[in-house]
Amino acid sequence: MPGKTRTVCVAHAQDVDGIASASLVKLATGADVFLANYDELIEILRSLNSETNLYVCDLGMNQSIIDDFVLETRRIVKGGGKVTYIDHHPLDGKTSKRIKAAGVHLVHSREECAGVLTYQHFRNELPRRAAFIACYAAVTDYLDNQPIAKQLIGSSDRQLILLESTMLSYAMSHERNRVSFSNRIVNAFQSLKFPHEIEGVPKLATRQAARMKDMLDLVEKEGVQLKNFAYFKSEKVTLGLVANLLLGIFAVPVAFAYRENSVSGMVEISLRERYDSEFELGEIVSKITKTLGGMGGGHTRASGARIPVEKMEKFLNLLGRELARDPKVKQKRRKALRRRAT
Ligand SMILES: [Mn+2]
């Protein structure tokens, strides 16, 4: 006997964008939410039966999961279910074709964060106030200057949005993006609570701010600066936030923080790019990590990578080389030269 169709959302567990997307899908459809990391996505898909109306949000495709992703989503669609994939990470033409050929409804743009894309997708089913949740995602994913995000943020008080966004992401960082904490946020967003109204969030955000101040002192003393980038090994504070501090302290276009995972033998790296810089950071990192037996990607402002510990030296060399010859930079130089010549 066929069961009832179940609506499910699988979204990225590690940041505000992922949990904002999940919150919006749940608000619009009542979906069961699974917050997942990249290594958990396929396992969750396998556990779903084909009578599922599935949404996958803010989980970029990479070579290690694409085959299984297509296999599982095709199974669900063939069995009468529905799959909608909402994402903003780089997606090449071939992969996008494969996903569509599996019968997946693809909502993809590199212009806006996943939270904003999800908000747009469900706009007619969502209360107006849900736009705040999309704005938190845009601010914390460094995509608040994009056309739709800018318009949404501009329709409210910018400072309120910045305060609430940062409070939320700082509290999440303090809790090291624990899934149980993030699930609590998703649930609180169902009654359109603001982050400052969610129990524990203001206190945790303040503690995180204190940690950031301590980190600032430490990074100033011990950060390493090379030609086009700076880096620092951080065991405690969220890597992405440390990378932001490095950008400012050393006035470099790109910075990263890393930590070693002694269990897996891998180094986890989080990279950030300054607002006025034009490197295709996500693409550069994806290219480098492939040659080092690791994985990585992201977008222009923020990128993440995982490589074997013994490849760190090589990573530094390759990153330096790539940042010295970025095509966009070259293009700009050529244009400037041409202008001078005429
Ligand atoms: Mn995102």
294 vs 4, residue with greater confidence: 294
Distance 302 CA to ligand 1 centre (A): 9
Provide CATH code, domain 6-203: 3.90.1640
Q: In the chain, how many H helices and how many E strands?
A: 14, 11
pLDDT in tens, 189-236: 999 999 999 999 999 999 999 999 999 999 999 999 999 999 999 987
Per-residue pLDDT band at 3 (split at 50, 70, 90): low
Least confident of 116-130, 272-286, 321-335: 321-335
Are 58 and 108 in contact by the 8 Å Cβ rule? The answer is: no
Locus of tokens 């994939």: 85
Task: Tell me the mean pLDDT in the region 14-38.
Answer: 96
β-bridge pairing 6-12 and 105-108: unpaired
Q: Name the fold adopted by 223-330.
A: Diaminopimelate Epimerase; Chain A, domain 1 (3.10.310)
Q: Domain-by-domain residue ranges, the chain?
A: 6-203, 223-330
Distance 300 CA to ligand 1 centre (A): 12
Residue 161 has what pLDDT? 98
CA distance 107 to 57: 10
Whether the pLDDT of residue 155 is over 80: the answer is yes
Residue 1 has what pLDDT? 44
Residue 162 has what pLDDT? 98
pLDDT in tens, 301-342: 889 999 999 999 999 999 999 999 865 655 665 566 566 554
Per-residue pLDDT band at 139 (split at 50, 70, 90): very high
CA distance 330 to 332: 5
Are 13 and 19 in contact by the 8 Å Cβ rule? The answer is: yes
Residue 338 has what pLDDT? 60
Distance 335 CA to ligand 1 centre (A): 32
Locus of tokens 């990153």: 319
Residue 38 has what pLDDT? 83
Task: Give phi and psi for 267, each to the nearest 5.
Answer: -105, 130
Distance 341 CA to ligand 1 centre (A): 42
CA distance 266 to 239: 15
